[in-house]
Amino acid sequence: MGVLARHYKEDKFRIMYFVFILLGTAQLSAWNALISAADFFSKRLPTTQAMNLLLIMCNVGCIPVMIITTIFSSDIDYITFTALPLLLMGIVMICTPLICTFLANTYIALVLMMLISFICGVASGITNCSIFGLGAIFSGDASGGIMVGQGIAGLISLIPLVLHLAIPGDNTDISGLIFFSFGSILNILALVSLILFRILPHPRYVIWKHQMAINPSAVPLMQNSPYVDDDISVLSQELVETRASQPLTKLGKAKQFAKETVVVTKKLGWWAVSVFVVYGLTLTLYPSVILAIPPPNGMFATEWSSSLWTHIKINIFCVADFISRWLGDCVAVYKSTRMIVIITFLRFVLAAFLFLALWVKWMRNLVFFIIIYSLFSLSNGYHGTVIMAHANTQCNLSPHELGLGGSVMSMLLNIGIAVGCVLALPLGLIKPIP
């Protein structure tokens, strides 16, 4: 334990920061594959609304499981609850192109894909909750790294654009296979990276410290630990007594954990509301409404250039979102609750311009559209990263509440996404004025 005792307090080479980036990339790879493979699903499945149906099924699986995982997040092993769903999502990424490509009956393929999307949602919900909970007990850097990783996952949309420009003809199937192969590889790499949490001194110390903070029965073990120092934070005596007074039944534990979840959510306050609103608004418009906006007059008139217009719209969002997530992780220009709320609701103005572009032709002016759309995309990545990286510290959560706080923020982020996807389904049926 000598080496462990000397080096446990710092992540000297920022190894864990890059591990969290990888975990964020892998966690969102399945979701981004579903969004980015819109043409693939439209070609292989019997409805143009296939992508929206799959996204809704994904959220139907994700949200209930995420709520349960969040409530019990103080009582789970974050590493195990990250590893198993990552393995499941890797299998899903392998099965998806096989079902869509080789199953002759497209309606059966659609039903199977809806089932697979549901399973993917369950795995994604557990992983998202556990990764953000794990990141929250490390630092704001870790949560920021997860957000950056999720932005990197969005860059997968560059693949069909490059193929479209470089290779003539229909590249839909090739793009789809690349999407899902990319997702499978990322999930395998992330799965392997979890070993580092078990063997490196720093993550072992951080996880141990968190366990001391949330588990009253483990507190006496501190005196026999090589980590003992004066900065260890444990449960308050009040919370120890409260938990000890609860019956040791599953129902009793569930009630207590639910009560603690409500308390933490109230502490997060407007930060929690903001993360829900930010991603709910984004998914209401992107990709359904954005992809329905016609090109500027006289531009992108041919079939090839029309497809190029679709790729351009997808990649403006994904590239801007990634750049702004990275900037949000590096420099937080604002951290006050007031600014968080103001920026959150200013995005409604940008969203209104984009929505009206379906019918108001002058709003499709190429320069005007790109500026408004870029601001909408940049604000999604930057604002979301600032919220997720700094909510716990700005809301003064106690040490034992950090993991739960990260899980709550992740849960509300995904509930916002689910609400946005549901709202996007009828909006996707609106016919724009050419």
Residue 184: which CATH number?
1.20.1250.20
The answer to whether 140 touches 330, Cβ cutoff 8 Å, is no
Helix axes 402-427, 366-394, angle to 10 degrees: 150
The answer to whether 14 touches 175, Cβ cutoff 8 Å, is no
Chain CA centroid to CA 333, Å: 22
Residue 1 pLDDT: 39
434 part of a folded domain: no
The C-alpha angle with vertex 245 and arms to 244 and 249, in degrees rounded to 5, equals 85
1 part of a folded domain: no
Q: Count of alpha carbons within 13 Å of 368, Cβ hemisphere only?
A: 12
For residue 57, what are its two tokens?
């099924």
Nearest to 419 by CA among 93, 119, 60, 77: 60
2 part of a folded domain: no
The answer to whether 347 touches 404, Cβ cutoff 8 Å, is no
Between CA 9 and CA 217 the distance in angstroms is 24
- DSSP code per residue over 117-154: HHHHHHHHHHHHHHHHHHHHHH-HHHHHHHHHHHHHHH
111 part of a folded domain: yes
433 part of a folded domain: no
What is the total count of domains within the chain? 1
C-alpha pair distances (Å), 362 with each of 259, 294, 296, 311: 52, 12, 8, 22
Taking only the tens place, the pLDDT of each residue in 397-416 is 888 788 899 999 999 998 99
The C-alpha angle with vertex 294 and arms to 288 and 299, in degrees rounded to 5, equals 140
Taking only the tens place, the pLDDT of each residue in 200-210 is 888 888 887 77
Taking only the tens place, the pLDDT of each residue in 239-263 is 555 555 555 566 667 788 888 899 9
Chain CA centroid to CA 388, Å: 10
Between CA 173 and CA 158 the distance in angstroms is 15
Other Cβ atoms closer than 10 A to 302 = 8
Residue 25, C-beta contacts closer than 8 angstroms, at least 6 positions apart: 149, 150, 152, 153, 186, 190
Between CA 162 and CA 138 the distance in angstroms is 38
Peptide bond into 287 cis (omega under 30): yes
Residue 231 pLDDT: 44
Between CA 138 and CA 402 the distance in angstroms is 9
Block mean pLDDT (10 aa), the chain, length 434: 51 86 90 76 79 83 90 84 91 88 87 91 91 86 90 79 72 79 88 91 82 61 48 46 55 79 94 96 89 81 75 88 91 91 95 92 90 95 94 88 91 91 80 78
Residue 113, C-beta contacts closer than 8 angstroms, at least 6 positions apart: 41, 45, 50, 54, 96, 99, 100
Other Cβ atoms closer than 10 A to 9 = 15
The answer to whether 137 touches 403, Cβ cutoff 8 Å, is yes
Taking only the tens place, the pLDDT of each residue in 259-273 is 889 999 999 999 999
Residue 427 pLDDT: 79
Its domain, for residue 393, covers 8-427
**Residue that has been written with the tokens 């296979």 in this structure:** 177
3 part of a folded domain: no
Output helix, strand, coil percentages for the chain, rounded to the nearest 5. 80, 0, 20
Identity of residue 33: A
| DSSP letter, residue 204 | H
Enter the pTM of the model: 0.83
335 part of a folded domain: yes
For residue 334, what are its two tokens?
């604002």
102 part of a folded domain: yes
| DSSP letter, residue 357 | T
The answer to whether 25 touches 152, Cβ cutoff 8 Å, is yes
Taking only the tens place, the pLDDT of each residue in 74-115 is 778 889 999 999 999 989 888 888 888 888 888 899 999 999
Residue 218 pLDDT: 52
